[in-house]
Amino acid sequence: MSAFRIVHYINQFFGQIGGEEMAHIPPEYREGKVGPGLALEANFKGEAVIVGTVVCGDSYFNENMEEAKETILAMVEKAKPDLFIAGPAFNAGRYGVACGAMAAYVKEKLNIPVVTGMYIENPGADMYKTDIYIISTRNSAAGMRDAAKKMAALALKMLKNEKIGASSEEDYIPQGKRVNLFEKLRGSERAVNMLLQKLQGKPFTTEYPMPDFDRVPPNPPVADIQRAKIALVTSGGIVPKGNPDHIESSNASKYGRYDIHGVMNLTSDTYETAHGGYDPSYANADADRVVPLDVLRDFEMEGKIGSIYEYFFSTVGNGTAVKSAKAYAEDFSKELIKENVQAVILTST
Protein backbone atom coordinates (compact mmCIF):
# COMPACT_ATOMS: atom_id res chain seq x y z
CA MET A 1 0.00 0.00 0.00
CA SER A 2 1.35 3.44 -0.96
CA ALA A 3 1.84 6.12 1.68
CA PHE A 4 -0.98 8.54 2.49
CA ARG A 5 -0.67 11.98 0.89
CA ILE A 6 -0.69 15.06 3.14
CA VAL A 7 -0.64 18.81 2.47
CA HIS A 8 0.78 20.97 5.23
CA TYR A 9 -0.03 24.65 6.00
CA ILE A 10 2.48 26.92 7.79
CA ASN A 11 3.09 30.66 8.16
CA GLN A 12 5.94 32.82 6.89
CA PHE A 13 8.08 32.26 10.00
CA PHE A 14 7.98 28.47 9.88
CA GLY A 15 8.22 28.68 6.10
CA GLN A 16 11.67 30.23 6.72
CA ILE A 17 10.79 33.43 4.83
CA GLY A 18 10.95 35.88 7.72
CA GLY A 19 9.21 37.24 10.78
CA GLU A 20 6.65 40.01 11.18
CA GLU A 21 8.24 42.03 8.38
CA MET A 22 7.18 39.27 5.95
CA ALA A 23 3.72 38.62 7.40
CA HIS A 24 2.17 40.27 4.33
CA ILE A 25 3.17 37.57 1.83
CA PRO A 26 0.35 35.87 -0.12
CA PRO A 27 -0.01 32.07 -0.25
CA GLU A 28 2.61 30.07 -2.12
CA TYR A 29 2.83 26.33 -2.74
CA ARG A 30 6.04 24.32 -2.36
CA GLU A 31 6.60 20.70 -3.23
CA GLY A 32 7.41 18.44 -0.29
CA LYS A 33 7.99 19.23 3.36
CA VAL A 34 9.24 22.50 4.88
CA GLY A 35 10.24 23.44 8.43
CA PRO A 36 8.05 21.64 10.97
CA GLY A 37 6.98 19.29 8.19
CA LEU A 38 10.25 17.43 8.73
CA ALA A 39 9.29 16.60 12.32
CA LEU A 40 5.77 15.61 11.31
CA GLU A 41 6.89 13.34 8.49
CA ALA A 42 9.48 11.66 10.74
CA ASN A 43 6.62 10.69 13.06
CA PHE A 44 4.58 9.24 10.20
CA LYS A 45 7.29 6.53 9.95
CA GLY A 46 6.74 6.01 6.24
CA GLU A 47 2.97 5.57 6.48
CA ALA A 48 2.30 9.11 5.19
CA VAL A 49 4.25 11.69 3.24
CA ILE A 50 3.90 15.47 2.98
CA VAL A 51 3.54 16.00 -0.75
CA GLY A 52 3.25 19.77 -0.56
CA THR A 53 3.41 22.76 1.80
CA VAL A 54 1.40 25.96 1.63
CA VAL A 55 3.11 29.00 3.13
CA CYS A 56 1.14 32.18 3.85
CA GLY A 57 1.83 35.34 5.84
CA ASP A 58 -0.22 35.73 9.02
CA SER A 59 -1.23 39.31 8.25
CA TYR A 60 -2.13 38.47 4.67
CA PHE A 61 -4.40 35.60 5.71
CA ASN A 62 -6.21 37.47 8.46
CA GLU A 63 -6.63 40.66 6.44
CA ASN A 64 -7.77 38.83 3.29
CA MET A 65 -9.36 35.76 4.82
CA GLU A 66 -11.97 34.89 2.21
CA GLU A 67 -9.61 35.39 -0.72
CA ALA A 68 -6.79 33.52 1.06
CA LYS A 69 -9.05 30.57 1.89
CA GLU A 70 -10.11 30.18 -1.73
CA THR A 71 -6.55 30.47 -3.04
CA ILE A 72 -5.19 27.94 -0.57
CA LEU A 73 -8.12 25.59 -1.09
CA ALA A 74 -7.30 25.47 -4.82
CA MET A 75 -3.67 24.62 -4.03
CA VAL A 76 -4.69 21.87 -1.62
CA GLU A 77 -7.29 20.39 -3.97
CA LYS A 78 -4.79 20.25 -6.83
CA ALA A 79 -2.40 18.16 -4.70
CA LYS A 80 -5.14 15.55 -4.03
CA PRO A 81 -4.23 14.89 -0.38
CA ASP A 82 -5.75 12.30 1.91
CA LEU A 83 -5.42 14.66 4.88
CA PHE A 84 -4.70 18.33 5.57
CA ILE A 85 -2.55 19.37 8.51
CA ALA A 86 -1.91 22.92 9.75
CA GLY A 87 0.67 24.30 12.15
CA PRO A 88 1.25 23.76 14.99
CA ALA A 89 0.61 27.42 15.85
CA PHE A 90 1.37 27.23 19.61
CA ASN A 91 0.30 30.61 21.12
CA ALA A 92 0.65 32.72 17.97
CA GLY A 93 -2.84 34.19 17.67
CA ARG A 94 -3.05 35.16 13.99
CA TYR A 95 -1.31 31.94 13.00
CA GLY A 96 -3.75 29.97 15.15
CA VAL A 97 -6.75 31.67 13.57
CA ALA A 98 -5.33 30.94 10.11
CA CYS A 99 -4.67 27.26 10.95
CA GLY A 100 -8.15 26.82 12.41
CA ALA A 101 -9.95 28.67 9.63
CA MET A 102 -8.08 26.87 6.87
CA ALA A 103 -8.46 23.40 8.39
CA ALA A 104 -12.20 23.93 8.94
CA TYR A 105 -12.60 25.18 5.37
CA VAL A 106 -10.71 22.26 3.83
CA LYS A 107 -12.78 19.83 5.90
CA GLU A 108 -16.01 21.49 4.74
CA LYS A 109 -15.13 21.81 1.05
CA LEU A 110 -12.99 18.72 0.35
CA ASN A 111 -14.46 16.36 2.95
CA ILE A 112 -11.08 15.03 4.05
CA PRO A 113 -9.75 14.70 7.62
CA VAL A 114 -7.88 17.68 9.05
CA VAL A 115 -5.82 18.29 12.17
CA THR A 116 -3.98 21.23 13.67
CA GLY A 117 -2.30 22.09 16.95
CA MET A 118 -2.15 25.11 19.24
CA TYR A 119 -1.97 26.31 22.82
CA ILE A 120 -5.31 26.25 24.62
CA GLU A 121 -5.30 30.06 25.11
CA ASN A 122 -4.73 30.72 21.41
CA PRO A 123 -7.85 32.55 20.11
CA GLY A 124 -7.95 30.12 17.20
CA ALA A 125 -8.47 27.24 19.62
CA ASP A 126 -11.61 28.75 21.10
CA MET A 127 -12.93 29.68 17.65
CA TYR A 128 -12.50 26.28 15.96
CA LYS A 129 -12.24 23.58 18.66
CA THR A 130 -15.82 22.36 18.06
CA ASP A 131 -15.25 22.03 14.29
CA ILE A 132 -11.89 20.29 14.02
CA TYR A 133 -9.36 18.30 16.04
CA ILE A 134 -6.82 20.63 17.64
CA ILE A 135 -3.93 18.98 19.45
CA SER A 136 -3.16 20.82 22.69
CA THR A 137 0.42 22.13 22.58
CA ARG A 138 2.75 24.15 24.74
CA ASN A 139 2.70 27.92 24.34
CA SER A 140 5.89 28.17 22.30
CA ALA A 141 7.82 26.38 19.57
CA ALA A 142 9.92 24.77 22.31
CA GLY A 143 7.14 22.19 22.35
CA MET A 144 7.51 21.33 18.64
CA ARG A 145 8.80 17.78 19.15
CA ASP A 146 5.90 16.80 21.42
CA ALA A 147 3.33 18.58 19.24
CA ALA A 148 4.55 16.91 16.04
CA LYS A 149 4.42 13.47 17.65
CA LYS A 150 0.84 13.90 18.87
CA MET A 151 -0.41 15.54 15.67
CA ALA A 152 1.10 12.79 13.54
CA ALA A 153 -0.39 10.06 15.75
CA LEU A 154 -3.88 11.54 15.51
CA ALA A 155 -3.51 12.13 11.78
CA LEU A 156 -2.61 8.46 11.18
CA LYS A 157 -5.60 7.32 13.22
CA MET A 158 -7.88 9.47 11.11
CA LEU A 159 -6.31 8.26 7.87
CA LYS A 160 -6.82 4.64 8.91
CA ASN A 161 -10.40 5.30 10.03
CA GLU A 162 -9.53 4.12 13.53
CA LYS A 163 -11.69 5.11 16.48
CA ILE A 164 -10.70 8.47 17.93
CA GLY A 165 -10.63 8.34 21.72
CA ALA A 166 -11.57 11.00 24.24
CA SER A 167 -9.65 14.27 24.34
CA SER A 168 -7.78 13.10 27.46
CA GLU A 169 -6.57 10.02 25.54
CA GLU A 170 -5.61 11.70 22.26
CA ASP A 171 -4.44 15.08 23.69
CA TYR A 172 -6.75 17.23 21.59
CA ILE A 173 -8.61 20.23 23.00
CA PRO A 174 -12.04 19.15 24.30
CA GLN A 175 -14.83 19.75 21.80
CA GLY A 176 -17.72 19.77 24.23
CA LYS A 177 -19.18 16.55 22.82
CA ARG A 178 -20.65 13.80 25.00
CA VAL A 179 -20.79 10.10 24.19
CA ASN A 180 -22.33 7.17 26.03
CA LEU A 181 -19.99 4.60 27.55
CA PHE A 182 -19.96 1.96 30.27
CA GLU A 183 -17.73 2.43 33.30
CA LYS A 184 -16.65 -0.36 35.65
CA LEU A 185 -17.78 1.60 38.72
CA ARG A 186 -21.12 3.35 39.19
CA GLY A 187 -21.17 7.16 39.32
CA SER A 188 -21.58 7.43 43.10
CA GLU A 189 -18.48 5.30 43.71
CA ARG A 190 -16.42 7.28 41.23
CA ALA A 191 -17.56 10.55 42.83
CA VAL A 192 -16.67 9.39 46.34
CA ASN A 193 -13.29 8.16 45.12
CA MET A 194 -12.54 11.56 43.58
CA LEU A 195 -13.62 13.32 46.78
CA LEU A 196 -11.33 11.12 48.89
CA GLN A 197 -8.43 11.82 46.52
CA LYS A 198 -9.11 15.55 46.79
CA LEU A 199 -9.35 15.50 50.60
CA GLN A 200 -6.04 13.65 50.80
CA GLY A 201 -4.36 16.11 48.48
CA LYS A 202 -3.81 13.45 45.84
CA PRO A 203 -4.21 14.02 42.08
CA PHE A 204 -7.53 13.19 40.44
CA THR A 205 -9.20 13.86 37.11
CA THR A 206 -12.69 15.29 37.02
CA GLU A 207 -15.16 13.74 34.59
CA TYR A 208 -16.78 17.09 33.93
CA PRO A 209 -14.26 19.96 33.79
CA MET A 210 -15.82 23.39 34.18
CA PRO A 211 -14.75 26.45 32.17
CA ASP A 212 -12.31 28.74 33.94
CA PHE A 213 -13.83 32.21 33.97
CA ASP A 214 -11.75 35.21 34.99
CA ARG A 215 -13.96 37.12 37.43
CA VAL A 216 -13.16 40.74 38.24
CA PRO A 217 -14.92 42.32 41.23
CA PRO A 218 -16.58 45.62 40.24
CA ASN A 219 -15.23 48.85 41.66
CA PRO A 220 -17.50 50.97 43.86
CA PRO A 221 -19.55 53.64 42.04
CA VAL A 222 -17.96 57.01 41.29
CA ALA A 223 -18.59 59.25 44.31
CA ASP A 224 -19.07 62.49 42.35
CA ILE A 225 -19.38 62.10 38.57
CA GLN A 226 -19.55 65.90 38.11
CA ARG A 227 -15.98 66.17 39.37
CA ALA A 228 -14.63 62.94 37.94
CA LYS A 229 -11.88 62.67 35.34
CA ILE A 230 -12.96 60.07 32.74
CA ALA A 231 -10.79 58.16 30.27
CA LEU A 232 -11.76 56.45 27.04
CA VAL A 233 -10.49 52.96 26.21
CA THR A 234 -11.58 50.80 23.27
CA SER A 235 -11.00 47.37 21.76
CA GLY A 236 -12.71 48.70 18.62
CA GLY A 237 -9.43 49.62 16.94
CA ILE A 238 -10.01 53.38 16.56
CA VAL A 239 -6.73 55.00 15.51
CA PRO A 240 -5.53 58.20 13.85
CA LYS A 241 -5.78 58.07 10.08
CA GLY A 242 -3.12 55.82 8.63
CA ASN A 243 -2.81 53.66 11.76
CA PRO A 244 0.57 55.11 12.82
CA ASP A 245 1.30 52.29 15.30
CA HIS A 246 0.41 49.59 12.75
CA ILE A 247 -2.00 47.82 15.11
CA GLU A 248 -2.95 44.50 13.49
CA SER A 249 -6.54 43.94 12.33
CA SER A 250 -6.57 40.62 14.19
CA ASN A 251 -4.65 39.32 17.22
CA ALA A 252 -3.20 42.72 18.03
CA SER A 253 0.33 42.62 19.41
CA LYS A 254 0.13 46.17 20.77
CA TYR A 255 -2.14 49.04 21.76
CA GLY A 256 -2.05 52.74 20.91
CA ARG A 257 -2.11 55.88 23.10
CA TYR A 258 -3.57 58.88 21.28
CA ASP A 259 -3.70 62.56 22.24
CA ILE A 260 -7.22 64.08 22.21
CA HIS A 261 -6.37 67.31 24.01
CA GLY A 262 -8.60 69.95 22.38
CA VAL A 263 -10.21 67.41 20.01
CA MET A 264 -14.00 67.85 20.02
CA ASN A 265 -14.92 64.80 17.93
CA LEU A 266 -13.32 62.03 15.89
CA THR A 267 -13.94 62.94 12.26
CA SER A 268 -13.57 60.68 9.23
CA ASP A 269 -10.76 62.95 8.00
CA THR A 270 -8.57 62.22 10.99
CA TYR A 271 -9.63 58.86 12.49
CA GLU A 272 -10.44 55.35 11.30
CA THR A 273 -10.63 51.79 12.62
CA ALA A 274 -7.91 49.17 12.25
CA HIS A 275 -10.33 46.42 13.34
CA GLY A 276 -10.93 43.40 11.08
CA GLY A 277 -13.69 40.82 11.10
CA TYR A 278 -16.63 43.19 10.61
CA ASP A 279 -17.82 45.90 8.21
CA PRO A 280 -15.86 49.02 9.28
CA SER A 281 -17.87 51.48 7.15
CA TYR A 282 -19.84 53.03 10.00
CA ALA A 283 -16.81 53.27 12.28
CA ASN A 284 -14.74 54.89 9.54
CA ALA A 285 -17.53 57.34 8.70
CA ASP A 286 -17.76 58.49 12.33
CA ALA A 287 -15.31 57.05 14.86
CA ASP A 288 -17.38 58.64 17.67
CA ARG A 289 -19.73 55.68 17.17
CA VAL A 290 -17.05 53.51 18.76
CA VAL A 291 -15.27 56.06 20.97
CA PRO A 292 -17.98 58.55 22.05
CA LEU A 293 -15.76 61.60 22.46
CA ASP A 294 -18.33 64.00 20.97
CA VAL A 295 -20.98 63.16 23.59
CA LEU A 296 -18.45 63.30 26.43
CA ARG A 297 -17.34 66.76 25.26
CA ASP A 298 -20.96 67.90 25.50
CA PHE A 299 -21.20 66.45 29.00
CA GLU A 300 -17.94 68.15 29.93
CA MET A 301 -19.16 71.56 28.76
CA GLU A 302 -22.51 71.07 30.48
CA GLY A 303 -20.82 70.18 33.77
CA LYS A 304 -22.23 66.65 33.85
CA ILE A 305 -18.69 65.25 34.18
CA GLY A 306 -15.52 66.80 35.50
CA SER A 307 -13.10 66.33 32.61
CA ILE A 308 -11.90 63.93 29.90
CA TYR A 309 -8.43 62.45 30.17
CA GLU A 310 -6.31 63.88 27.37
CA TYR A 311 -5.33 60.50 25.88
CA PHE A 312 -7.41 57.52 24.79
CA PHE A 313 -6.13 53.96 24.50
CA SER A 314 -7.02 51.62 21.67
CA THR A 315 -6.37 48.09 20.47
CA VAL A 316 -8.14 45.51 18.30
CA GLY A 317 -10.21 42.86 20.03
CA ASN A 318 -10.59 40.62 16.97
CA GLY A 319 -8.78 37.36 17.75
CA THR A 320 -6.66 39.01 20.44
CA ALA A 321 -5.73 36.65 23.27
CA VAL A 322 -7.18 37.39 26.70
CA LYS A 323 -3.65 37.19 28.09
CA SER A 324 -2.50 39.95 25.71
CA ALA A 325 -5.49 42.19 26.42
CA LYS A 326 -4.95 41.81 30.15
CA ALA A 327 -1.29 42.79 29.79
CA TYR A 328 -2.21 45.93 27.81
CA ALA A 329 -4.74 46.99 30.46
CA GLU A 330 -2.29 46.41 33.30
CA ASP A 331 0.23 48.58 31.47
CA PHE A 332 -1.85 51.67 30.66
CA SER A 333 -3.83 51.45 33.91
CA LYS A 334 -0.69 52.52 35.76
CA GLU A 335 -0.85 55.82 33.89
CA LEU A 336 -4.58 56.24 34.54
CA ILE A 337 -4.11 55.68 38.26
CA LYS A 338 -1.15 58.07 38.38
CA GLU A 339 -3.19 60.76 36.60
CA ASN A 340 -6.07 60.36 39.06
CA VAL A 341 -8.61 59.07 36.53
CA GLN A 342 -11.72 58.05 38.44
CA ALA A 343 -13.63 56.22 35.70
CA VAL A 344 -13.06 54.52 32.35
CA ILE A 345 -15.53 54.08 29.52
CA LEU A 346 -14.56 50.85 27.73
CA THR A 347 -16.09 50.27 24.30
CA SER A 348 -15.89 47.58 21.64
CA THR A 349 -17.26 47.16 18.11
What number is the average pLDDT over the span 280-290?
A: 94
More confident: 205 or 240: 240
DSSP assignment of 35-71: TTHHHHHHHHTTSEEEEEEEEE-HHHHHHSHHHHHHH
pLDDT at 303: 96
The strands making up 256-259's β-sheet, listed across from edge to edge, are 256-259, 307-314, 229-234, 343-347
Look over the chain and give the mean of its residue pLDDT values, rounded to a whole number.
92
Round to whole Å and give the CA distance between 171 and 134: 9
What number is the average pLDDT over the span 83-97?
A: 93
pLDDT at 79: 96
**Domains within the chain, CATH numbers bracketed:** 4-170 (3.40.50.2000), 225-347 (no CATH)
Quick check: 249 pLDDT over 90? no
pLDDT at 272: 96
pLDDT band of residue 1 (cuts 50, 70, 90) is low
What number is the average pLDDT over the span 313-324?
A: 85
78 DSSP 8-state letter? H
Quick check: 20 pLDDT over 70? yes
Quick check: 320 pLDDT over 90? no
124-162 tens-digit pLDDT:
998 899 999 999 999 889 999 999 999 999 999 999 999
194-207 tens-digit pLDDT:
999 999 999 988 88
pLDDT at 107: 97
What number is the average pLDDT over the span 20-28?
A: 92
47-70 tens-digit pLDDT:
999 999 999 999 899 889 999 999
250 DSSP 8-state letter? S
C-alpha closest to that of 138 among 100, 88, 185? 88
pLDDT band of residue 2 (cuts 50, 70, 90) is confident
Most confident of 75-79, 245-249, 319-323: 75-79
Quick check: 3 pLDDT over 80? yes
Percent of the chain with pLDDT over 70: 99
pLDDT at 334: 96
pLDDT band of residue 214 (cuts 50, 70, 90) is confident
pLDDT at 328: 94
pTM, entire model:
0.68
Quick check: 250 pLDDT over 90? no
CB-based burial label for 50 (10 Å; 0-12, 13-18, 19+): buried
